[in-house]
Amino acid sequence: MERTNFTHYVFVTGGVISGLGKGITAASLGAVLRSKGQKISMQKLDVYLNVDAGTLRPAEHGECYVTKDGAEADLDLGHYERFLDTEMTQKSSVMSGKLFLKLIEDERAGKYGGEDVQMVPHFTGLIQQTIIEAGEGSDVHIVEIGGTVGDIESTAFMEAIREMALKFPGRCAFAHLVYLPWLGTSKEFKTKPAQNALRDLRSVGIIPDLVLVRSEKPAPTAAAEKIAMFGGIPRESVILLPNARTVYEVPLTLEDHKAGDIIARKLNLKPKKSDVKKWQRVVESATVAYQKTVKIGVVAKYLDNEDTYFSVIEALRSAAWANHVNLKFDWIDAEKIELEGVESLHQYSGLLIPGGFGARGLEGMVQAARFAMDNNVPYLGICLGMQMAVVAAARKAGLANAQTSEVEPLTPDPVIYIMANQKSKELTGGTMRLGNYPCKIKKGSQAEKLYGTHWIEERHRHRYEVNQKYNKFYEQAGMLISGTSPDGSLVEVIEMPELNFFVGTQAHPEFRSRPDRPHPLFNGFVAAAKKG
């Protein structure tokens, strides 16, 4: 495709039910267009009245993704980054609450000059302005609209993108994701929900250029033909998307059905042959059966929704592929370890403790970290997982009351604490470190060997820090502080050099891992687990 001097827009909407994988589909479409030489940007517009995703329950919505500039965002941004191999920004994730807040603040500041402030044109205009600003500098800006068509909350968003197609003729395309249920009693697929979803979309003035049909199992072409006929859409624009062997197969499926070419024609872009060799290699790595399997225990506290740790598992998978091993992982309830002990942990070739907040399950995590220390089991601690390893090390060195002040604010030995210059802000919600921060790695450390450099940058999302007042206890336990902030005041990476692999990081390295390029810490962790 030829590069252009102005931005084109692709709007991705969903129908029938939520949770169909709209984010993965949108990201895959972006990957296909990028493979055709286009500069792609992406954005998620969510209909929730929250200002950002930081206050959403992980048990319901999955992980809170963090961008490099500190936005707390929907997990779909993780899909965007992994599929496009780029970094999103605060402009990439917008919720209704953030827009309404700006609208009201502008009205209070008199920016509307006494006008009646209404959903149309003021709120819809703000949505459009947000889309346009986020897409600046891109050839194609892909916008995923959260929720499903017909939701009360999404009405203004649908109107906004409908108007954009009128304002920018020839520069807007629409892709709609629907669901095709299978009825086991009658042994047939039912197209009626998809037809209704398309009718709902037409009722708001939008006719999709591409219809993507999700199903649990492969559906017959007759189903696609029926959806095309009743939806008034060309048959070639209806693409069946049954469950894939791996999510990274979706770009190949879209390319096989020429989804990129369909969008290119709609946007008046000259087509160019795609280069999807990268995705072919990824899918081959993800689906081959390797001779060896590593079994990882993930000791966690949010187990109601596995998507809570989506990026962690994707990082583990990519590391397993790079090390040519099959990955088997079990979720281990940290509270169960508190009650039953660590005996069940002997079966794992590696233990990983991810991030989290609050007191629940922390003692179980401390016990798991201590088990890894005492039994030389490869260990990777992420954020909270690093902090619990520090608590375990301090107790091992004889500091029996070592604790995090998140659990016991008045503990006599707060090895994890809020620094003095942050305490005045403790109740304001402004104490978290969010986004990318630099880190100085100790020369000759295992961390330096893993990263291949002594200066790194990683993403953060936390409030509490390691208290260096107790450094002598960490050292007595065999723990080395191998990474700090440039001024040395904040602990970023710890390790136990005498063990095969015991590394903790205050950051969230999972956010920077890619399917074809695993993060160094995950890669090293799986490599150590492989050695057994």
User: Inter-axis angle of helices 310-322 and 520-531, to 10 degrees?
Assistant: 60
Catalytic residue among 163, 383, 448, 492: 383
Distance (Å, whole) CA 138 – CA 516: 24
Catalytic residue among 8, 176, 508, 519: 508
Contacts of 406 (CB under 8 A, 6+ apart): 357, 358, 359, 416, 463, 464
Smallest CA-to-CA distance from 22 within 134, 127, 154 is with 154
Tell me which residue has tokens 């990683």. 458
Q: Is 188 a catalytic residue?
A: no
Spatial distance between the Cα atoms of 274 and 30, rounded to a whole number of angstroms: 12
DSSP 422: G
Contacts 24+ apart (CB under 8 A), 189-196: 189/215, 189/219, 189/220, 189/223, 191/223, 191/226, 191/227, 191/230, 193/15, 193/16, 194/15, 194/16, 194/227, 194/231, 195/226, 195/227, 195/230, 195/231, 196/15, 196/16
For the record, the structure tokens of 472 come out as 């002598």
Task: Assess whether 163 carries a catalytic annotation.
Answer: no
User: Would residue 495 show up in a list of annotated catalytic residues for this protein?
Assistant: no
Q: Give the C-alpha separation, 30 to 144, whole Å.
A: 11
Q: Is the dihedral of CA 119, 121, 125, 126 positive or negative?
A: negative
Alpha-carbon gap, residue 114 to 523, rounded angstroms = 59
Query: How far apart, in whole angstroms, are the C-alpha atoms of residue 392 and residue 399?
Result: 9
Cβ(26)–Cβ(62) below 8 Å: no
Q: Which of 163, 406, 465, 510 is catalytic?
A: 510
The residues annotated with a catalytic role in the active site are: 383, 508, 510
